[in-house]
Amino acid sequence: YMVFDTLFAIDAEFAPQPQMVGDHAISPDKLTYQFKLRDGLAFHDGSPVRGADCVASIKRWMARDGLGQSLKPVIDEMTPDGDKAFAIKLKEPFPLLLDGLGKASSLALFVMPERLASTDPFQQVTEMVGSGPFKFVKEEFEPGHRVVYVKNTDYVPRKEPPSWASGGKVVKVDRVEWLYIPDAMTKATALNNGEADWWENPPSDVLPVLTANPDIAVVPDNPMGQMTMVRFNHLLPPFDNPKMRQAVMMVADQADFMRTLVGDPKNWKICASFFTCGGPMANDAGSEALTGNRDFEKAKQLIKDAGYKGERIVVLDAVDQPNPHVQALVAYDLLQRLGLNAELVSADWGTVVTRRASKKPIDEGGWNIFGTGWVGADLLDPTVNLPLQTRGDTAWFGWPKDDQLEVLRAKWIKAESLEERKKLAAEIQKRAFDVVPYIPTGQWTQMTAYRKNLKGIINAPAFLMWNVEKT
């Protein structure tokens, strides 16, 4: 969000608002969308932002994002319309088009020059060139130590007040340095002494040190919190059998996961939903699968009914990341208590990320379970919730496949009213508790800490540096 800008942006009411787009029009049949860029948009290399750049960026995003992948087959034509405009023609109405162009998540649609956007969508771009309010300083980049951004003095912000990622991106500092400091107490000392201004996510065990300093504010880092989960590999035994996944869910207690990860009960809560609690799609359909009595004997019978043959179960444990590490430890304990042949494989997060992409058998480097977490904005609804999508080989790591869930998700995308979407979200969730693409393990509040001489910090699902001033 510092380097790149978006065509639309989601505000605090979950509504898409124009960002790079100045004017737009929708045909009465809702099949043609015309967009005109606002004045003053330019990339950091000096080139103007064109309609062709927007089209190429949308195509790149559609290849990777869940909502984008749903949009792609509906597009009839997408073309530049002169230098400052572009048009999208659809085969059928797609009510969430503007939401997609502005979605706030880890897979946001960032606009970049056509020459970069044309890079293979599954390869990293080779330059950090956007049109956003900050510029990346390549010459000062030190991998594993420091990233430097400076104010983009040519950026023209919108006039509206900021709301989440929407509105005016007015930069009030000249320079931002992101520093990587491995040791938590070294970070705490730097913040306490004023050598650093902001600590993105301090671990819970150092919060007392920070809250004791009257010059430091310790607050929730985003309004939607963090969601955690245990993910299954649906391709390999034994969790290719839904009864095995249901058996583990039957004994999973979110409180165990949250107490181990977070500790203080003020900072976590039970969220027995596949959608972020506090969001518009959260519901309790089927939630008794997570909130009912944890019945180990019933679960063991289900395992017997599934025909479990003692297959080795590999649980990936990212020991250097507290969230996935705790998920793995608690899940491993559950598997042992169920009498399953579980093995905890410890590694760093980078190794886990590499191994979880493998579809090979266990004895060739495959896996069965890993734990992870998402910011709440990433699981708000059926389109942004990537691990809930069940497209088989093209789904997120774990590759669940369930045609019924995908049919319901397609209906949700095409629904035109909030009431209809809520009804369909309940149907999706009820089915998900049968399929068990993953086990939701709770919702918690990650804290952020900053010195009180920072003003104007925007409470949003991402760390946004505009509007922040240092007094």
Confidence of residue 254 (pLDDT cuts 50, 70, 90): very high
pLDDT at 144: 86
What are the domain boundaries of the chain? 5-124, 147-217+447-470, 226-444
pLDDT at 182: 86
pLDDT at residue 263 greater than cutoff 90: no
Of the chain, the percentage scoring pLDDT greater than 90 comes to 89
Q: Buried (b) or exposed (e) across 51-79, using 16+ Cβ within 10 A?
A: bbbbbbbbbbbbeebbbbbbbeebbeebe
pLDDT at 105: 75
Task: Return the CATH class of domain 147-217+447-470.
Answer: alpha beta
Of the chain, the percentage scoring pLDDT greater than 70 comes to 100
* Residues 5-124, CATH architecture: Alpha-Beta Complex (3.90)
Confidence of residue 397 (pLDDT cuts 50, 70, 90): very high
pLDDT at 462: 85
Confidence of residue 435 (pLDDT cuts 50, 70, 90): very high
pLDDT at residue 264 greater than cutoff 90: no
What's the token pair of residue 121? 């969508």
Closest CA to 86 of 131, 109, 46, 54: 54
- pLDDT tens across 112-159, in order? 999 999 999 999 999 999 999 999 999 999 998 999 999 999 999 999
In this predicted structure, which of 103-107, 238-242, 317-321, 372-376 has the lowest mean pLDDT? 103-107
Better pLDDT: 12 or 408: 408
Q: pTM value?
A: 0.85
pLDDT at 203: 85
Provide mean pLDDT across the span 360-384.
Answer: 95
Give the type of residue at 28: P
- Assess whether the region 147-217+447-470 and the region 226-444 belong to the same CATH fold: no
Beta carbons of 17 and 65 less than 8 angstroms apart: no
pLDDT at 289: 95
* CA–CA dist 435, 425 (Å, integer): 15
Beta carbons of 134 and 171 less than 8 angstroms apart: yes
What's the token pair of residue 130? 């956007």
pLDDT at residue 106 greater than cutoff 80: no
Beta carbons of 226 and 106 less than 8 angstroms apart: no
- One of 1.10.760.10, 3.40.50.300, 3.10.105.10, 1.10.150.130 is the CATH number of 226-444, namely 3.10.105.10
* CA–CA dist 432, 313 (Å, integer): 23
pLDDT at residue 50 greater than cutoff 80: yes
